[in-house]
Structure 1
Amino acid sequence: MTRPVDSGVILIARLALAVLFLWGGVMKLLGYAGFVSYLQAQGVPFAQIGAPVATAIEAIGGLLLVVGFLIRPLALVMAVYTIATAIYGHDFWNVTNAAAQHDMVIHFWKNVGIAGGFLLLFVTGAGRISIDAARTPRRHLR
């Protein structure tokens, strides 16, 4: 059981994560052809399939984070997705330019940190300020 302050902090964490993914999903939608080209240039296998999947995960996942719906399974999906994007999108080990490599290292480990946040969200759940909490039957104390 979480305290009210814990649920407020969990809500803030969900919103902070959601902003990143909602923004990313919208940008992918607005520049969809460029996103597909980027994936192909990165050597991502099945870029034509990966692009709509990535866009949906970011946009829909971001919305689900905001409202707190299906947070535990969503957190696992988002953690795996974030690690996959670190590996395919921030592959610093393939970059030869020192400045670009430094930038890629930062983004790679940022993604690993975000995945860690999703794993914590998996453990804590959505908190009381969520659809998940509203859907959970309450035990009445007598």
Structure 2
Amino acid sequence: MTRPADSFIIFIARIALAILFLWGGAMKLLGYAGFVGYLHSKGVPYASYGAIVATAVELLGGIALVLGVRTRAVAFLLAVYAIATAILGHDFWNVTQAAAQQDAVIHFWKNVAIAGGFLLLTVTGAGRASVDGMRAPRGGGLRG
């Protein structure tokens, strides 16, 4: 059973992760043409479609995290997304300039760390302070 203090900490973790994705999704939406150009520069095939998918994943995923809706599945999807964006967007092994390479390394490992946070949410679930928590039976046992 999830204790109230644990649920509060899980809620804070969900909000912290969601802010990053809501902000990123909003910036992609507001600067859509620039984001498509960035994806083209990285060699992403069908960049205009990829931009739509990335923006939707970040905005809808962020909203789902805040509300705690299907948190385990959403968190797993966002963990995969964070790793994919690390590999595609922060490919430090292809960067030759030292300062740019160091920046890419930092962002790559930041994405890996974020994926780790999402994997923890995949295991813990949303806690009681969530839509998932309101749907869970109130008897004994583990809750998501």
* Range class of TM-score, shorter chain: over 0.9
Shift of 1:46: 1.9
Instruction: Please give the alpha-carbon distance, in whole angstroms, between the structure 1 residues aligned to 2:106 and 2:139.
Output: 46
Deviations 1:32-61 (A, max 9, x none): 011001000011122122110000000010
Structure 2: how far apart are the matches of 1:135 and 1:123?
A: 17
Letter in structure 2 aligned against 1:35: F
Aligned to 2:29: 29
Say how many residue pairs are matched: 140
Paired with 2:33 and 2:15, the residues of 1 have a C-alpha distance of 28
Residue 4 of structure 1 and its aligned partner are, at CA, apart by 0.7
Partner of 2:7: 7
How far the C-alpha of 1:22 sits from its partner, in A, is 0.2
Q: Aligned letter for 2:91?
A: D
What is the letter of the counterpart of residue 136 of structure 2? T
Verify: 1:82 aligned to 2:60, yes or no. Answer: no
Q: Which runs of 5+ in 2 are unaligned?
A: none
Secondary structure of 1:11 counterpart:
helix
Q: How far is the alpha carbon of 1:137 from its aligned partner? A: 2.3
Moved over 3 A (4+): none
Instruction: Give the corresponding residue for 1:16.
Output: 16
The structural deviation recorded for 1:69 is 0.5
Equivalent position of 2:64 in the other structure: 64
| In the alignment, structure 1 residue 113 sits paired with structure 2 residue 118 | no
Identity of aligned residues (%): 69
**Counterpart residue type for residue 26 of structure 2:** V
Partner of 2:41: 41
Segments of 5+ residues of structure 1 without an aligned counterpart are none
- Separation of aligned partners in 2, 1:139 and 1:88: 44
1:137 & 1:13 partners in 2: Cα distance? 23
Within a 5 Å distance, the mapping from 1:97-136 to structure 2 comes to 97-136=97-136
Secondary structure of 1:15's aligned partner: helix
